[in-house]
Copies of this chain bind each other. A is one copy, B any other.
């Protein structure tokens, strides 16, 4: 059983409550209701890596409460507070916290973060420019002018290695920490399948042609809201033609080398962090 980072959440998303305004009102009135503690999109973790919660009475004046789901029958919310701005820059402090999450807790946080981020960037109707209102317990916005309904974005991203003769292709983006190499990745576009996006991205970035793409695993990635889809494609040969806008370098590495690096031994590259699906992908590939 593969368990990539940010998976394994235990909240029941309770879709039925989103469509039932009475049940939603009852959830808001439930004295046991909990509010996720966040400061500037960052959670508070206890010493066991569990998310901190407070009561919804602690939500700042003017907040709108988004229903994250039910913990048993206890409603759990996140607060969209007045003037909340999208997070800016790379969340370096956040990345440092990710290895501390208890299993499943990062998944709850990921859903909350992606949802809040989406609201902060989508206060207006893309169809007509009017300010929109929250509905469906925080899982949608509607336009009072043109009546368009808007739902949170999830952007599919393919992340993959090419394989040839028992070796995997890894790339290095400009500005990454020294020595870090990882799987290639890119956004899937309208009008293509996962398999086609994998082949296109590897061709664009490294000039390597692949076929027989196989799916390995997926994870949500809440910076801001991607669905990472990890795959392996079989390469025709090992000639690399680098797109130097996208990549600084690309290398072929053997299963033995990947296994050693993932086990913490020194090698030709630094491995991705364990919460990234590139880590899951390399682990699955290296173990054959």
Contacts and interface: CB of A to CB of B under 8 A. Distances in A.
23 contacts: A16-B204, A19-B245, A107-B191, A108-B191, A114-B191, A115-B191, A121-B148, A123-B126, A124-B126, A124-B128, A125-B129, A126-B126, A129-B129, A129-B130, A153-B153, A153-B155, A154-B155, A154-B187, A154-B189, A191-B222, A193-B217, A193-B219, A193-B220
Contacts of A4: 193
B122 A229 contact: no
A238 interface: no
Interface string A219-250: 11010010101000000000000010100000
A273 interface: no
A229 B191 contact: no
Q: How many copies does the complex hold?
A: 2
B123 A222 contact: no
Contacts of A107: 191-192
Interface of A: 4, 6-7, 9, 13, 15-16, 19, 107-108, 110-115, 118, 121-131, 139, 148, 150-156, 187-196, 200, 204, 215, 217-220, 222, 225, 227, 229, 243, 245
Contacts of A121: 126-127, 148
